[in-house]
Structure 1
Amino acid sequence: TRQAGRSNFPIAESSMAGQDLEVQPPVCTTLCLWEPDAHLMIRKAKGQERARKSEYAAEARKGAFVEAASESGVSEEIRAFEEHFAIELRAARDTMEQVMALSSADGETPKLFDWWLEQLTELHTLVSSATSFLPTQLRQRFGNQIADHEAKLKAERERLTPKKKFAFKKRDKVAAKTTSAPEAAPPPPTASEAANLVPTGGGVAHVPKADTFQAPAGCQGFRDRVGATLIRPAGEEAAGDFALEELTDCEVRLLSSSAVLWIRNLSNCRIFALPVARSIYVTACEGCTLYLGSRQLRIHTSSRTDFYVHTTSHPIIEHCSSLRFAPYPALPPNLQPAFDAVGIKPELNQWQLVDDFDWLKASHSPNWTELAEGQRVGPAFLENTEKDEGEAVELAVKII
């Protein structure tokens, strides 16, 4: 039965006459909103509604947070690229200032021009490799900065490079030149090679995207040796590149300079190299000690290695750990011409200004540290006064 005028809920009669009727609750529903007091039940229903709205708001906040985190990740990637680009551009600007300070060309001017061009090539490669996440506006801005440097490079070449005097050529030489067979075009890359190439833009050669720190084909060097003492004597060709690859427990002395030095896959080796004219690229070295001098030093995927460095730009490390840096050792008087031979000033050394591309915080990177003065050890053979070592050092002065 139902009690008229009071409630629509079912009620049960008491077994005793005249006793007040007692309201019986129904079976509890999922939300359990029923209460004997109607006002309490209304408040409970409103509470449930507020809870649902709170859940909806929480889900909305969660979605917004995920979206913001995604956007923040892209921004962080762009910021890291901008810092990387700024470092490379600063190095190119340093070279530009050296060139623009020259009143006339000398023997070192072509090397400076080559180095400047190599730095701009690196900038082109950098921008091309970031097209997947860089907005068009930023790509254009970076491209304009590189183009500005290229225009200045061209202007400085014209200013410092003397123009060739005009002269009539003999008819037979002209005829011979016009009838000579043209050079064969290089073969197109295979499908696998094409898949690993990244266009660098600006007419610059393509660079493999997997690993750009590869010595050129046919490069001279020491390779695949264990427990050997390897000496490159003075007086060898200094204009080409040189490579050290796949060496274990070796001692290497490079007493002739080179344009670029490529170092890859070394374990427990001691390397001494006279300064090179341009760059040194180090990849996958562990437990080594290296004495290196150059305009640019790039280090990849190396650990537990000591670097005694002379470089005119900031050393750059990527994917490295437990590296220690110290200044390049003082050379004996008979080796001092090594710096002049490659156009590097001994007093300009930025060995301690290391840039870690894996560490974007303002604090010091945990991946490298300065080697304490009390722990620095020079190359033993430079300090050795025995006759055979002395003769080797005497030869080193004949760099070019």
Structure 2
Amino acid sequence: MTTRAAGTSAAAEMEPETDHTKAAAAGHRKHLAMLERLSKRTATPSPDSTSSDASPVATFLSRFAAAKLAAESALSACRSSPEDAPSSVATAAAAIDDLDRLVAEASHSLPPYELRSALAAVSDLRAAHRLAASDLRPNKSFSFRNKSKPPKTPPQHPPTLPPPPPPLEQPKPILETILPGFGFRGRKGAILAKDLRVSDEKDGDFTLADLVSCEIHLKGKCRALYVHKLRDCRVFVGAVFGSVLIENVQRCTFVMAAHQIRIHQATATDFYLRARSRPIIEDCSGVRFAPHALKYRGIEDDLRDAGLEEETGNWANVDDFKWLRAVQSPNWCLLPEEERLPAIDISDIQELEEDDH
């Protein structure tokens, strides 16, 4: 009786241990199965899911930060090493151009906030670069100036000092230092034409600067277009597969197609545009916008190669960075249809001037 009771008691004691072992083993198997499912999910992501790290916006922000740092470093070198300032200014210009092109290439895929922030950063760097370039001037001649405090008891007959020499006229910053690429500069009353399709430097940057009462015809494509200080000019441009930067223009007419167009300090000027992103204006007044109106033999191929074959309607969607109210900016308007130019055909216009390097 005692032996049976002891055996029954031992069996009863082992039963809970067996159940506990089985429960632990089952839980362990479930844990392993869950880890396996997670491993497979990580190894083979769903086709509908995309990694935020590999998204176009994240990739752009990473590249933009690196390019911005390079431009800022070059500008900083202008101040820290005055003896190397000319080369640093040139390096900064190239870095800012790369940054500008990077924004232009990604402009159609960026959210509005990211695009505005990037454009504002490029604008600030351009302003800093212009300031650095303008500082590249010869030092003034030494003049005898006594900046120390006068003595308490001045001498009875102070020596007569020679008058200081007149200050040297400070030259303006060289445009070639600020604006890259080849192009037309310093002309008045001229007809300037260039076929970029047969140029030795095709698909590069092009500059129009210091032009008065000129008519400019550019056939073909260029990577970027820089326009500075034009008066009473008419400008016809085929296709720009990067960005256009227009500064300080008055009473002009522009007909062009580009991925990105930024206009600064323009007055009484008309723009006939095709653009992948919304045109941006700053410090402008009396500017008007209309759809693209340019023709020449082969322009369809140039527009297609530049990714500008489709009319986006962005010519009418202008952002005024200096007008933050909800109502329409008073600085720009749509050009009335009855005042618009008809489509302009420049097919038969040949090169009439050599470009300036």
Q: Normalization by structure 2: what TM-score? A: 0.51
Shift of 1:217: 5.9
Matches within 5 A, 1:239-388: 239-329=203-293, 331=295, 334-378=298-342, 380-382=344-346
Q: What root-mean-square deviation, in Å, do the aligned CA atoms of Structure 1 and Structure 2 show?
A: 4.2
Q: Which position in structure 1 is the counterpart of 2:348? A: 390
CA pair 123-217 structure 1, distance change in 2 beyond 3 A = closer
Contact in 2 for aligned 1:121/1:204 (Cα 8 Å): no
Q: Which position in structure 1 is the counterpart of 2:145? A: none
Q: Which position in structure 2 is the counterpart of 1:235? A: 198
- Unaligned regions of 5+ residues in structure 2, if any? 1-54, 73-77, 101-121, 132-174, 352-357
Q: Which of the residues 181, 206, 213 maps onto 1:219? A: 181
- Report the residue type matching 2:310 in the other structure: P
* SS of 1:345 mapped into structure 2: coil
* SS of 1:359 mapped into structure 2: coil
CA pair 258-334 structure 1, distance change in 2 beyond 3 A = closer
Give the total of aligned pairs: 215
Cα-to-partner distance string for 1:70-102 (whole Å, 9 max, x where unaligned):
xxxxxxxxxxxxxxxxxxxxxxxxx948xx9xx
Shift of 1:122: 11
Q: Which position in structure 2 is the counterpart of 1:190? A: 82
Cα-to-partner distance string for 1:266-290 (whole Å, 9 max, x where unaligned):
0000000001110000000000000
* SS of 1:275 mapped into structure 2: strand
Instruction: Report the Cα distance in structure 1 between the residues aligned to 2:295 and 2:62, rounded to whole angstroms.
Output: 28
Contact in 1 for aligned 2:208/2:226 (Cα 8 Å): yes
Shift of 1:238: 2.8
Matches within 5 A, 1:18-57: none
Instruction: Report the Cα distance in structure 1 between the residues aligned to 2:312 and 2:130, rounded to whole angstroms.
Output: 28
- Report the residue type matching 1:390 in the other structure: D
Contact in 2 for aligned 1:245/1:264 (Cα 8 Å): yes
Instruction: Report the Cα distance in structure 2 between the residues aligned to 1:294 and 1:122, rounded to whole angstroms.
Output: 25
Shift of 1:377: 0.4
- Report the residue type matching 1:235 in the other structure: V
Cα-to-partner distance string for 1:30-66 (whole Å, 9 max, x where unaligned):
xxxxxxxxxxxxxxxxxxxxxxxxxxxxxxxxxxxxx
Contact in 2 for aligned 1:290/1:307 (Cα 8 Å): yes
Instruction: Report the Cα distance in structure 2 between the residues aligned to 1:122 and 1:212, rounded to whole angstroms.
Output: 21
Cα-to-partner distance string for 1:313-350 (whole Å, 9 max, x where unaligned):
01000011000001111535632111112122323341
CA pair 208-276 structure 1, distance change in 2 beyond 3 A = closer
Q: Which position in structure 2 is the counterpart of 1:69? A: none
* SS of 2:302 mapped into structure 1: helix
CA pair 229-121 structure 1, distance change in 2 beyond 3 A = farther
Instruction: Report the Cα distance in structure 1 between the residues aligned to 2:236 and 2:130, rounded to whole angstroms.
Output: 24
Instruction: Report the Cα distance in structure 2 between the residues aligned to 1:339 and 1:122, rounded to whole angstroms.
Output: 31
CA pair 342-360 structure 1, distance change in 2 beyond 3 A = same
Bigger fraction of residues in strand = 2
Does residue 209 in structure 1 map to residue 127 in structure 2?
A: yes
* SS of 1:321 mapped into structure 2: coil
* SS of 1:301 mapped into structure 2: strand
Shift of 1:123: 10
- Unaligned regions of 5+ residues in structure 1, if any? 1-94, 101-112, 129-185, 383-388, 394-400
* SS of 1:339 mapped into structure 2: helix
Instruction: Report the Cα distance in structure 1 between the residues aligned to 2:248 and 2:223, rounded to whole angstroms.
Output: 21
Contact in 2 for aligned 1:255/1:273 (Cα 8 Å): yes
Contact in 1 for aligned 2:209/2:229 (Cα 8 Å): yes
Deviating more after overlay: 204-213 vs 326-335: 204-213
* SS of 1:254 mapped into structure 2: strand
Higher Cα radius of gyration:
1
Q: Which position in structure 2 is the counterpart of 1:73? A: none
CA pair 285-330 structure 1, distance change in 2 beyond 3 A = closer
* SS of 2:348 mapped into structure 1: helix
Q: Which position in structure 2 is the counterpart of 1:120? A: 64
- Report the residue type matching 1:337 in the other structure: D
* SS of 1:285 mapped into structure 2: strand
CA pair 248-343 structure 1, distance change in 2 beyond 3 A = same
Instruction: Report the Cα distance in structure 2 between the residues aligned to 1:118 and 1:342, rounded to whole angstroms.
Output: 25
- Report the residue type matching 1:190 in the other structure: P
Shift of 1:119: 9.1
* SS of 1:276 mapped into structure 2: strand
Instruction: Report the Cα distance in structure 2 between the residues aligned to 1:121 and 1:193, rounded to whole angstroms.
Output: 23
Q: Normalization by structure 1: what TM-score? A: 0.46
Identical positions, percent = 29
Q: Which position in structure 2 is the counterpart of 1:108? A: none
Shift of 1:296: 0.5
Q: Which of the pair has the greater relative contact order for Cα pairs under 8 Å at 6+ separation?
A: 2
Contact in 2 for aligned 1:303/1:321 (Cα 8 Å): yes
* SS of 1:366 mapped into structure 2: coil
